[in-house]
Chain A
Amino acid sequence: MEIINRQEALLTNYEVYKVLKEEDDRHKAIKTTTKTKYPENVTTLKFEALQYLNGTACTTQSADQIALLKSQLLEYDLTKAEILQIINLRPKAPVELHLIIEECGERFAIEDLEELLELILATLPHNDDSDAADANADGDGETEPRDNANSSNMDVDNLSGDL
């Protein structure tokens, strides 16, 4: 084995979710026709990683949404890592933005941050939004996966890599 490039690109959770979901569907399709068994390390990791990602905001995202948000965030002068984390974590409160954005207090005014939060919530709608208003109804972070994550056929190769 040879390592050609240690880090070609950063991936959003959405991109990983999509690959694993496709693979999961392929495995299920093969299982119905043949008796092919996949090695345990593959199936276990796939199951656990999908389970984790199902609890994050990426389940309802699409390539269009992420591309749109990326272009909208241009005017805020954020770094690549900051944009990636905004997409992955989908911050809902100013305190989360302060964690993600370095020296947030110096770079942004309070109004800017609120505008930014509204933008993020509007561009990346998620099914826990109704609960978000009354704060902690969604405390356990469990969200039902939706099917529309795969609805877009746009090629998102290196979506975050080109940030």
Chain B
Amino acid sequence: MFVLVVLQDTLKIIPSEFTKSREDALKDEINSKYANRVLHDIGLCIHAHDLLEVDEGFVQHSEGWIWVKVKFRMIVFRPFKEEILVGRIRSASPMGIQVSMGFFDDIDISADQMPSGSEFNSTEGVWVWRYEGSELFMDLDEPVRFRVLDSNFLDVSPPRPKIGDVDSVPASHPPPYSLTCSIKDDGLGLLSWWE
């Protein structure tokens, strides 16, 4: 589910960071810039793994900080196709269920990827799998095992208000990175079903 990605960037170290070792200061700067950020076609950046190359840095005219060109390795969340993962059910609707892994929430399992014989129970607000006469409820917050079918990257620019319409901010914008998943196979679905 995690991969190492090699990146290169020019980062600045501000004077208050000079007390730290160069390595720690750079790692902190990398993390504050990249952690929890989705890079297009790369994935969700988790944390700096290590630094590969660090140049000596330079101070620009009239500035008090150092610019350092650094090549580093980043831990990135990007599951491969067909990978099996475990998460928890976050919400359910007639369209399907959404699964969360805590640090990553945009996991969708659509209605056609449910086990055959499942249907949405609108009174309970959860999905139910009818299997050999028994009703298996997919309650919220239950751990669920799923298979990754596809990952979708969306190039989202920051929401831009329309001219003359200062107050309106789009209520929700689509996630930049989401996973399309399935629980339609033996062994997938709630962990408790297969124990």
Contacts and interface: CB of A to CB of B under 8 A. Distances in A.
A20 interface: yes
A20 B5 CA distance: 16
A96 B187 contact: yes
Interface stretch (A49-57, A63-71, A110-118, A145-153): A49-57
Chain B: interface residue count, which band?
Answer: 35 or more
B103 A95 contact: no
Contacts, number: 129
Contact of B4 (A9, A135, A140): A9
Interface string B90-128: 000000000001110000000000000000000000000
Interface residues of A, number: 50
B51 to A, nearest CB: 13
Interface string A69-100: 00000000000010001001100010110111
Interface in B140-195: 143, 145, 147, 185-188, 191-192, 194-195
Given A99-B84, A135-B195, A11 B35 contact: no
Given A4-B8, A99-B188, A51 B84 contact: no
B190 to A, nearest CB: 9
B4 A161 contact: yes
A7 B37 contact: no
Contacts of B191: 139, 141
A85 B84 CA distance: 7
Given A20-B47, A95-B187, A99-B188, A6 B84 contact: no
A141 B185 CA distance: 21
A1 interface: yes
Contact of B143 (A6, A8, A140): A140
Interface of A: 1-13, 15-16, 19-20, 23, 26, 38-39, 41-42, 44-46, 48-49, 51-52, 56, 81, 85, 88-89, 93, 95-96, 98-100, 102, 135-136, 139-141, 157-158, 161
Closest 9 pairs between A and B when the two form their complex, measured CB to CB: A48-B103, A5-B6, A95-B187, A4-B6, A52-B102, A11-B2, A136-B195, A41-B36, A45-B36
